[in-house]
Amino acid sequence: MIDKLNSPQREAVTLPPQHALVLAGAGSGKTRVLTTRMAWLIQTGQVSPLGILAVTFTNKAAREMTARVSSILPIDIRGMWIGTFHGLCNRMLRAHHRDAGLPQAFQILDTADQLAAIKRLLKANGVDDDKYPPREVQRFINGAKEEGQRPGDVEAYDNFRRRMIEIYALYEAQCQREGVVDFPELLLRAYELLSRNEPVRAHYQRRFKHVLVDEFQDTNTLQYKWLRLLAGGGASMFAVGDDDQSIYAFRGANVGNMSDFERDYAHGTVIRLEQNYRSYGHILDAANALISHNNGRLGKNLWTEQGEGEQIRVVEQPTDLSEAQWLVDEVRGLISDGRERSQIAVLYRSNAQSRVIEHALFSAGVAYKVYGGLRFFERQEIKHALAYLRLMANPDDDTSWMRVVNFPPRGIGARTLELLGDQARAFDTSLSSAVARVPGKGGSNLAQFAMMINKLSFETRLLPLPELVEHVIAHSGLMAHYEQDREGADRIENLNELVNAAAAFVIEADMAGLPAGVVVQAPMTGATTVIADAGQDVVLDPMQEGFNGLSPLMAFLSHAALEAGDNQAQAGQDAVQLMTVHAAKGLEFDAVFITGIEEGLFPHENSVSDPSGLEEERRLMYVAITRARERLYFSLAQSRMLHGQTRYAMRSRFLSEVPDVHMKWLTPKQGLSDSEPRWKTSHYAGDTYGRQVAPRAAPVPPKMLASGVTVGAQQFRVGQGVRHARFGEGTIIGLAGTGLDAQAQIQFRDVGAKTLALGVAKLDIVQS
């Protein structure tokens, strides 16, 4: 098990029970160390599978971890707590729902449900949603929860925040009344449960001897607090992460947790995995050199025993269109050289860049796959069906009620619903319970809807899950509605797929044990136990309690909320992989294209003004580079269409942070302040292997580039020096628009980057 490991890997795997921080560089065998560690602890008898808690961020990572542990050790992994933060907290809350102050059948709101609930709340309370936009409110509430703060804990230093806090409190009351829980609430409730309830805390602290955390650099404040509580009874915490791959600060991740952890727990037990098994030398050294420009790193230098390999191929094109065209030609070359399409990845900083590339690939007939679209359980028709199903389980779920009360349309208008809402509020009940209080025609339509929900509940109460789902889809009017819709074919197919998903879910639960909830199964005897409220184990009949004490429907609904499904458009067939750099984290490919490496795009203009933002962009570039095994391309365009206007940008600073020796320019590399157009001709003769590249027509250089943008009597170009009365001297790093609408992005020497309207700002041109 451990003899195939290198020495730091083996050291990490076989560490005695103590806290440790493993700094695992890209491609250094992180998952292998984590899973082997678990298997080793079990095999050497140091801990039973039940004493291990392993936590990840994504379901995919959790599945992979489970699969790899069970492939190393032929043990029953059913009783092990391997899962996502949210999945494990859900499991804990179901088991101790009473102590946590929740109904056992609490529903989970996904991000969209939560937003809908907030909109409804603001309307009901007459909050001005211009001053308090729902998204802003959502950010505020989730931000507070992720810091572990309830309304009473948030500091109210101005009126705006005071009002926000009031809204937060109202929102909490609404969720509580409806029996629903949003994503951050799952974590916060579980944390509060452990911190306030001594018996429950003692139970879990006694149980878990080893707590292992994947992607530790992505944890937020609350997740770290939760871990500290769980491990507070003497468990060993084994945290694996890479501060250089921290790219989720914008959603609350706190890289600082890593250095805090080292200080508070690891006390110097820091193991560095620096040998990289993925990439060749040029690629790795480029990544090392780039990331060395960041400050405050925990420190790490990747190396490889593989040779230096090929240099990074760099291409600069005049426009985004020609960049895409070049890319398609190059991709076809790679394919005709015998590379698999699925081993070719095209990465970009932002989703908007994909369209031009998709268009070019599509026109050329190259199969491709785009990651990041709508996921299965997020589709409109699926969310509607789930809303009906939720009402079967809990008619007081107002979010679901509102979603389908008039879908398909059944003559219940805004006016009626407003009335219903008023009644519900006046009597402090759910919408469902307030139906009888609404008179008139709208009221009778409402009553009919409520009756239908009741009838459906009754009809389906004894049905197995797949038939239940099928029945609800068929008799709620959903199916009929989409059958009438000329463009409803896809939606019908998805609804049928939902029935299949329910069937698969039941089979999976039978075979692999329990997807969510509280059951713990002893590996040898197969006896099923449920952790009771006071932390005592109660044996249940496994045949009766197949879903952890939850009904199959409830378990399925939790599953749907916690695992929204694949977010890749078309599965199957061998296809070129298109995705954002964020989505590529954790993946690897033989050949990688990093596109749009321009100032303003990568690093993104919204991030360059503050140092920490720029460093995160640099880490993003580091992640992108380290995805490549053999071949890496950098590409950029001098101009591109963005927001309906042509924009001009300079080469990204990241290009100059990679030493020249690692790069080979396939297009001419010239100075930026050159007044000549940088683009001369487009042909480059073959690659380093001498493969001949078919000659093609030279793209036409954009006419505007040489002259730049003209405003009044002044002509502005990218790279030009300018002086501003207040901001001082600077360099134009981006131009967009024409005439009086034209804007320039300027990097000032003293005050940083600013975007100025050229029709307004007074600028002098400085001769360099």
Partner DNA sequence: TCCAGGCCCGTTTTT
Partner DNA sequence: CGGGCCTGGA
Catalytic residue IDs? 30-31, 214-215, 245, 627
Contacting DNA (CB under 7 A), which of 363, 570, 606, 714? Answer: 606
**Among residues 177 and 410, whose Cβ is nearest to DNA?**
410
Interaction of residue 86 with DNA, rule CB under 7 A: yes
Q: How far is the CB of 321 from DNA (least distance, A)?
A: 13
CB 242 within 8 A of CB 24: yes
- The sheet that has 270-273: what strands, in order across it? 81-84, 52-56, 210-213, 236-241, 20-24, 270-273
The three-state secondary structure class of 524 is coil
x/- contact string, 607-646, with DNA (CB under 7 A)? x-----x---------------------------x-xx--
Quick check: 60 binds DNA (CB under 7 A)?
yes
Nearest to 324 by CA among 287, 358, 278, 357: 357
Which tokens go with 399?
């979010």
From the list 207-215, 257-265, 351-359, 652-660, the region that binds DNA by CB under 7 A is: 351-359
Among 16, 365, 414, 685, binds DNA (CB under 7 A): 414
Reference 161, options 141, 145, 181; nearest CA is 141
- Which is nearest to 589 in space by CA: 546, 535, 544, 630? 630
Phi, psi of 520, rounded to the nearest 5 degrees:
-120, 130
Closest distance to DNA from the beta carbon of 562 (Å)? 4
**At CB < 8 A and 24+ separation, what contacts does 86-90 make?**
86/183, 86/186, 86/187, 86/562, 87/59, 87/62, 87/516, 87/562, 88/53, 88/55, 88/190, 89/186, 89/187, 89/189, 89/190, 89/226, 90/186, 90/516, 90/517, 90/558, 90/562
Q: Which of 12, 19, 22, 57 binds DNA (CB under 7 A)?
A: 57
Give me the least distance between CB of 142 and DNA, in Å please: 8
* Gap between the Cα atoms of 107 and 396, Å rounded: 11
Find the binder of DNA among 8, 29, 49, 87 (CB under 7 A).
Answer: 87
**Binding of residue 455 to DNA (CB under 7 A):** no
Contact 286, 313 (CB under 8 A): no
Q: For residue 604, state whether it binds DNA (rule: CB under 7 A).
A: yes
746 contacts DNA (rule: CB under 7 A): no
* Residue given tokens 């937060």 in the structure block: 168
Per-residue x/- mask for DNA, residues 239 to 278, rule CB under 7 A? --------xx-xx---------------------------
3-state secondary structure of 368: strand
Least Å from the CB of residue 265 to DNA:
24
Instruction: Give the nearest distance from C-beta 87 to DNA in angstroms.
Output: 5
- Centroid of chain to Cα 485: 33
The contact pattern for DNA, residues 372-391, with x = CB under 7 A and - = no contact, is x-------------------
Q: Which is nearer to DNA, 27 or 184 (CB)?
A: 184
Rule CB under 7 A: is residue 352 a binding residue for DNA?
Answer: yes
Smallest distance, Å, CB 119 to DNA? 7
- Regarding 564 and contact with DNA (CB under 7 A), the answer is yes
**Footprint (CB under 7 A) of DNA, residues 394-413:** 406, 409, 411-413
Closer Cβ to DNA, 31 or 269, answer by number = 31
Residue nearer to DNA on the CB measure, 409 or 671: 409
- The four Cα atoms 297, 299, 304, 308 give a dihedral, to 10 degrees, of 60
The helix/strand/coil state of 27 is coil
Stretch of 427-435, 560-568, 632-640, 680-688 lying at the interface with DNA (CB under 7 A)? 560-568
Closest approach of DNA to the CB of residue 267, in Å: 30
Question: Least CB distance from residue 581 to DNA, whole Å?
Answer: 7
Of the residues 231, 518, 562, 578, which one makes contact with DNA according to CB under 7 A? 562
Confirm or reject binding of residue 529 to DNA (CB under 7 A). no
Residues 6+ apart with CB under 8 A from 316: 635, 636, 637, 638, 651, 665, 667, 668, 669, 678, 679
Nearer to DNA, 411 or 611 (CB): 411
For the CB of residue 129, give the shortest distance to DNA in the complex, in Å. 8
Cα–Cα distance, 696 to 452 (Å, whole number): 66
Which residue type is seen at 323? E
Least Å from the CB of residue 111 to DNA: 4
Binding mask 167-186 for DNA (x = CB under 7 A): ----------------xx--
Instruction: Yes or no: say if 385 and 473 are a contact pair by the CB < 8 Å rule.
Output: yes
CA 456: distance to chain centroid? 36
**C-beta closer to DNA: residue 578 or 763:** 578
Contact partners, residue 748, CB within 8 Å, separation at least 6 = 724, 727, 728, 729, 730, 754
Q: Are 249 and 612 in contact (CB under 8 A)?
A: yes
351 binds DNA (CB under 7 A): yes
Opening angle at CA 608, ends 612 and 760, nearest 5? 145
- Is 679 a binding residue for DNA by CB under 7 A? The answer is no
The residue (of 444 and 606) whose beta carbon lies closer to DNA is 606
Q: Site for DNA (CB under 7 A): how many residues?
A: 42
- Residues of span 571-590 touching DNA by CB under 7 A: 579-580, 582-583
The answer to whether 273 and 30 are in contact (CB under 8 A) is yes
Question: Minimum CB separation from DNA for residue 444, in Å?
Answer: 13
Site string for DNA, 188-227 (x = CB under 7 A): ----------------------------------------
Rank residues 280 and 547 by Cβ distance to DNA and give the closer one: 547
CA angle 343, 346, 352 (to 5 degrees): 150
Residue appearing with tokens 């921290």: 246
What pairs with residue 366 in β-bridges? none
Q: Which residue has the tokens 């940088």?
A: 678
Q: Report d(CA 571, CA 577) in Å as an integer.
A: 11
Provide CB contacts within 8 A for 40, sequence distance 6+: 1, 2, 13, 14
Q: How far is the CB of 35 from DNA (least distance, A)?
A: 18
* Identified binder of DNA from the candidate list 350, 448, 494, 755, rule CB under 7 A: 350
Nearer to DNA, 123 or 196 (CB): 123
- Out of 41, 110, 138, 528, which residue is the one contacting DNA (CB under 7 A)? 110
In the chain, % helix, strand, coil (3-state, to 5) comes to: 45, 20, 35
Interacting span for DNA (CB under 7 A) from 53-61, 235-243, 270-278, 714-722: 53-61
Whose tokens are 């349309």? That residue is 409
Name the residue nearer to DNA (CB basis): 58 or 755: 58
Nearer to DNA, 60 or 680 (CB): 60
Whose Cβ is closer to DNA: residue 406's or residue 747's? 406
- Per the structure block, which two tokens stand in for 745? 């992005």
78 near 513, Cβ under 8 Å? Answer: yes
Q: Is 317 in the site for DNA (CB under 7 A)?
A: no
Q: In terms of Cα–Cα distance, which of 230, 257, 235 is closest to 246? A: 257
Min CB(85)–DNA separation in Å: 7
Binding segment for DNA (CB under 7 A), chosen from 489-497, 557-565, 694-702, 718-726, is 557-565
Closer to DNA at the Cβ: 51 or 515? 515
Which residues of the chain form contacts with DNA (CB under 7 A)? 57-60, 84, 86-87, 110-111, 183-184, 247-248, 250-251, 349-352, 355, 372, 406, 409, 411-414, 562-564, 567, 579-580, 582-583, 604, 606-607, 613, 641, 643-644
